[in-house]
A and B are shown apart, each in its own frame.
Chain A
Amino acid sequence: MKRIINNPEDLVKEMIEGVVEANKHWLEIIPGLNAMKKKKIKDKVIVMSNGGAGCEPMHIGYVGIGMGDATCIGEIYTAPSAYTIYETVKAVYKGKGAILICANFMGDYLNTDMAVELLNLEGYRVEKIVVNDDLNVEPGADPDKRGGTTGIIYVLKVLGAASEKGLELEELVKLGNKVKNSVSTISVTLYSGSFPQTGELMFEIPDDTIEFGMGFNGEPGIKSSKMLKADEMVEIMFEHLKKDLELQNGDEVCSMVNSLGATTYMEQHIVFRKLAQLLKKEGVSIYDAKINRYHTSQEAGGVSITLLKLDEELKKYYNFPAVSPAFTHLPHNKQTVFQIRDFL
């Protein structure tokens, strides 16, 4: 696979420089680290996520108004070190606490947990939320075996808004865990992406085969199948999500159809069309639908579907405006509209 890169060692650094330059009115680099932050952060609890590079726009795209306050990025598919996370928090801390959000992968969990301990030792009030939305195992299986993916965006969205509204650390941890426990994701992978440093394929799937619940580096998932029609794929995915979230008539959800990289706008909307039909049939209404690339595996083929089951509290914070490089939300109703310029 051909790639548009310079020196392979500089990928992460150059990407951060590009993102910050493109959003220079409200973002800046934290010097000496592969990390960035909002230029202006209120006196509030810090909310940030971290993780390895390679799944863009994951992490790097979700720093902004009503979203994360900062992020630090590891090398390609490698968690940032505990030390980097620790320094990033110190660069943005406002004295009211911080919440570190990461995916439930060994490297991310270990480094985030270690950073929390170091910061606590120095008197910083820091908590972590380890997100495990991914159905890479059957619903009901050991939740520790589940990875984290696009669910992180919803945790950032809700906590970003709630922290701007002045909620305290303990309240935010409770709220963040509520999001974590109300969100579920399932993917279907058609073919592998390639490592950006080398252009080599990460894994191989036979041409006539698709994989449900596969990890973004090819880790085995729930099941393989022969190639299916779009509607059949979405039916299988929806069954898993419905079971995992125990969806019932009258429920309300936010939905996210995410391209794993190569899957097109056209295909994503064909997927969403079927998803909307299935939800309607179950009597579940969609409060807000997002369709884009949110968490990729480079140029892998496939999609993931994420559903967030809402209650009034989650809906309230979800419906705040958000402006970040890869996730923007405009409020639906007049009651919650407030002036974005208050934050600039």
Chain B
Amino acid sequence: MKSLSINQVVEMIIYICSKLVEEEKYLTEIDKKIGDGDHGITVKRGFGSLKRVLEKKQHFNSVNELFKLCGIEILKNMGGASGVLFGTLFIGGLKYVEEVNYITLGFLSRFFRNSLQSIINRGRASRGDKTMIDALFPAVQALEKSSKKHEDIRIAIKNAALEAKKGMESTKNMKAKFGRAKHYGERALGIPDPGAITVYLIFKHMSEWFSLIPE
């Protein structure tokens, strides 16, 4: 598979949203141990409302327009620092990429590379700080590697999800520098960062969606 149409991207995002909403309890449980305990509800609020908006079957002239709407919906409804950072995941890459009406692996890897950089700049965080960056960084590297080798987009996303999972798991051994988690110090050891989990889940469900559609 070489590319996805806008409608396919919309379907994929709706699928990811519906799966993320189902993870509310799990995310809340983790966040109770390490943060404010509201990450599950926040994710449900943001991605749940995005799902509702996309299900209204709007017409999009470009993938860029679609991503911008996704980012704005998340900003509007998710709130807090995580609302801004997950909004940046959709919006932060936009100013560096061309306008397209279908997605290729090359586009996706460039888009996510720029989103990652925006999240790093905006959040003033780097790898190893026990944040969403620890899952996104290796996922983006995997996409770039696959893109260079001209791999099938399904395989690329599957690899990215695997790398995101490893990255998410690596946050278990990190001490937090941001948010309420930083006050937990040593007690945060052994627990992964909820933001990193959410990034991993996004890639995991993206990969799952690919396995459900015909070639």
Contact = CB atoms under 8 A, between A and B. Distances in A.
Does A associate with B in a complex? Answer: yes
Interface of A: 78, 81-83, 106-107, 110-111, 113-114, 117-118, 120-121, 144
Contact of B91 (A78, A106, A111, A118): A118
The 9 closest A-B pairs by CB, nearest first: A110-B84, A83-B76, A83-B75, A114-B84, A82-B75, A113-B122, A110-B81, A82-B84, A111-B84
Given A117-B118, A118-B75, A121-B94, 5 more contacts: A82-B87, A83-B76, A110-B85, A113-B122, A114-B91
A122 to B, nearest CB: 9
Interface in B53-106: 68, 71-72, 75-76, 79-81, 83-85, 87-88, 91-92, 94-95
A111 B68 CA distance: 16
Contact of A114 (B68, B75, B94): B75
A84 to B, nearest CB: 9
A248 to B, nearest CB: 33
Given A81-B76, A121-B68, A121-B91, A144 B124 contact: yes
Nearest to B118: A117
Q: What is the interface residue range for chain B against chain A?
A: 20 to 34
Given A107-B81, A114-B88, A114-B122, A83 B95 contact: no
Interface in B111-155: 118, 122-124
Given A110-B122, A113-B122, A83 B72 contact: yes
7 contacts: A78-B80, A106-B178, A110-B122, A114-B87, A117-B95, A120-B95, A121-B95
Given A81-B83, A82-B87, A117-B92, A110 B75 contact: no
Q: In terms of DSSP, what is the predominant structure of the interface of chain B?
A: helix
Contacts of A78: 80
A81 B95 contact: no
Nearest to A120: B95
Contacts of B79: 81
Contacts of B92: 117
Contacts of B123: 110
Contacts of B91: 114, 117-118, 121
Contacts of B122: 110, 113-114
A117 B115 CA distance: 12
A201 B130 CA distance: 32
A106 to B, nearest CB: 6
Contacts of B68: 121
Contacts of B71: 118
Contacts of B124: 144
Nearest to B92: A117
A178 to B, nearest CB: 24
Contacts of A113: 84, 122
Contacts of B72: 83, 118
A263 to B, nearest CB: 30
Nearest to B79: A81
A121 B87 CA distance: 14
Nearest to A113: B122
A206 to B, nearest CB: 21
Nearest to A74: B79
A120 B80 CA distance: 21
A118 B76 CA distance: 13
A106 B95 contact: no
A20 B37 CA distance: 37
Contacts of A120: 95
Nearest to B87: A114
Nearest to B85: A110
Contacts of A82: 75, 83-84, 87
Nearest to B78: A81
A86 to B, nearest CB: 8
Contacts of A106: 81, 178
A117 B94 CA distance: 10
Contacts of A81: 75-76, 79, 83
B53 to A, nearest CB: 13
B123 to A, nearest CB: 7
A83 B81 CA distance: 13
A107 B75 contact: no
Contacts of A114: 75, 84, 87-88, 91, 122
